Structure 1
Amino acid sequence: MAAEMSIVHNCLIRMINSVHNQCINVATRGTDADQVDFANYAFQWTEWLHEHHSSEDSTLFPSMGEIAGVPGLMDVNTNEHAGFHDKISRYANYLKEVIRGKEKLDGEKVKNLIDSFMPELHTHLENEIGTLVNLESYDKVDWEAWFKKEVGKMIKEMMGQYEYRVSSLTVNTKRREFF
């Protein structure tokens, strides 16, 4: 379970790194359409992170405490989510304004917004893996089987939602509205 979560966390880090590394280039050399597309790409990362943390907070982590017989077992990780939530919201809100055409993409601003939350987020992503590795002390639970079953249910539910299937990485650049 920790290994699979490490892959998800690595993808989150790589995607935000790509935004951080390219935001100035796109802002200074990209067309208006390039900038809106890039802002949408950067915004979709916030949606993915939100979905990831929401599923942990509402479903996975409470269930893990219950089946291990230790309510609140994962609270330390859930509590860390609050530490960077507002900073990521500022980042997301700025990107929405760029997508809607109310702001111009400013690469330095994007970089600074990322720099405001990334140290805390990176620490959290590392800490969470450590917490998951330590679950081996609750060996009465087949964590791998449980995790695959729970994630499978969540994916089935999400993919059953039309809005989820069509909205990811999609924005109407002509109207600059979210679907």
Structure 2
Amino acid sequence: MAVSPACWADEPFALISIPGCGMDLSKAHASVHVAREMAFAHNGMIRALNSIYQQCIHVSTLIDIADLLKYAQFWCQWLREHHHGEEELLFPQIEKITGEKGLMERNVAQHHAFESGLVKFETWLNDSKPENYHGKELRALIDSFGKILIQHLTEEIQTLLALGQYDGQALKEAWTVFDLEMRKGDKSIIFPIVLGSSDREFEGAGDWPEVPGVVRILVHYYFERKHRGAWRFSPSTTWGNKRPLTFTGDSEI
């Protein structure tokens, strides 16, 4: 897959347009709120994957390679926890609210569609040794499931937007339960990777995710310390500001 020579983490996989732009969100149905929150989360996953894809052929030292492998493993963990939470918490609640059993079945089927490619990617990451690393192999593995994954992440937003005829308060409550569960992961991993793949300027994202400013300070100065080397591959700062990708250039391995 081609990558523009001077692009940020918005390529090669396309980001998702945020629902509700230009709307009075205070009057919007909860389905718009839920779809917006999910789109912000999905875009973070896409940016992080793009960051891995772009930088993986430009790392050269053993420590840089080891940190990239760790960052990619954390990305896989984030994606898996997110989809597990959807299947165990959010989707069953949506089907209960709508009274339509099987409504979210297509989304679950899409999870399974890229599963084999994701497993191969995870296995490769876990088995790789920095001294035997090949960035082009990593890229090829991402190419094997990337398009299917991005299709799923994009189409799920439309599924959520289509819930506008149902109980808005119940949808908000279902999202809150899901969101709180997603924040319970290892704070030295989930907070840095989520905050570090956000973009506060993208289509009115602002300070997403909504956390007190003191939390961002705590993440930056405390929770990021354990895996600091891995966060060099994050496309944004802890405050959601774009920053140049660390590893670019002509060296390819």
The CA RMSD measured in Å over matched residues stands at 2.2
Change (3 A) 1:16 1:73: same
Return the TM-score normalized by structure 2.
Answer: 0.59
Alpha-carbon separation, structure 2, partners of 1:108 and 1:80: 26
Q: Which has the higher helix share?
A: 1
Alpha-carbon separation, structure 2, partners of 1:21 and 1:167: 21
Cα contact 2:85–2:178 (8 A) shared by 1: no
1:140 Cα offset (Å): 5.8
Deviating more after overlay: 140-149 vs 102-111: 140-149
Matches within 5 A, 1:1-179: 1-26=34-59, 30-98=60-128, 101=129, 104-139=132-167, 141-152=169-180, 154-155=181-182, 158-159=184-185, 164-165=186-187
1:91 Cα offset (Å): 0.6
Deviating more after overlay: 139-148 vs 50-59: 139-148
1:7 Cα offset (Å): 0.3
Alpha-carbon separation, structure 1, partners of 2:55 and 2:177: 37
1:141 Cα offset (Å): 4.7
Alpha-carbon separation, structure 2, partners of 1:165 and 1:140: 30
Alpha-carbon separation, structure 1, partners of 2:188 and 2:154: 31
Gaps in structure 1 of 5+ consecutive residues: 174-179
Report the count of equivalent residues: 161
Instruction: Work out the percentage of aligned pairs sharing the same amino acid.
Output: 34
Cα contact 1:67–1:141 (8 A) shared by 2: no
Cα contact 1:39–1:105 (8 A) shared by 2: no
- CA deviations 1:127-171 (Å, max 9, x no partner) are 10000000112246542343124422x146x25xxxx34566867
Change (3 A) 1:59 1:3: same
Alpha-carbon separation, structure 1, partners of 2:124 and 2:162: 38
Runs of 4+ in 1 over 3 A off after TM superposition: 139-142, 165-171
Return the TM-score normalized by structure 1.
Answer: 0.81
